[in-house]
Structure 1
């Protein structure tokens, strides 16, 4: 299988942006140690503060599936419970052209 690239957006409530940021920083550090993770970068939108974006590269879809089942993903979702202003959107990317 070929590499998988993923973009995820995580919208935090304004009053909870710091809480979500800390949870995502912890998640990013743990994720970068995963066997199938090639890159995991965390950003905050410059035009929509409190909207966090991950840009990820995985060895394959099985590595992403394994990531989603890790305790650190569950902990991040638990830490963000009630702190999000919308749904987390995960976008596995397909090349165009």
Structure 2
């Protein structure tokens, strides 16, 4: 079985971008220490500042599910409450053959 690759987008309002960036940096650091996390990279869009993107690799969907239930994910969502301009979109990726 191959790893699970995931992309997530987090759209912050311009005035709250610093707040969301800080919360996501804390989240990324904690996430990288999780069992089942193979890679977790955080980016900000160069064309749409305040839009954050995570590029993730997990051992499997169970590891991703466990990640979503961690206290540091809950803390990041709490820190971003009211600061987002849309929904957080999590995209588990399927290879195109």
TM-score by length of 2: 0.99
Asked if 1:72 corresponds to 2:66, the answer is no
Residues 26-59 of structure 1: CA distance to partner in whole angstroms, max 9, x if unpaired?
0000000001000000000000000000000000
In 2, distance between residues paired with 1:20 and 1:13? 9
Structure 1 gap segments, 5+ residues each = none
| Partner-residue secondary structure (3-state), 1:95 | coil
Alpha-carbon distance, 1:10 to partner: 0.1
Which residue is equivalent to 1:86?
A: 86
CA RMSD of aligned residues (A): 0.5
**1:9-88 to 2 correspondences below 5 Å:** 9-88=9-88
User: Could you tell me how far 1:2 is from its partner in structure 2?
Assistant: 2.4
Runs of 4+ in 1 over 2 A off after TM superposition: none
TM-score, with structure 1 as normaliser: 0.99
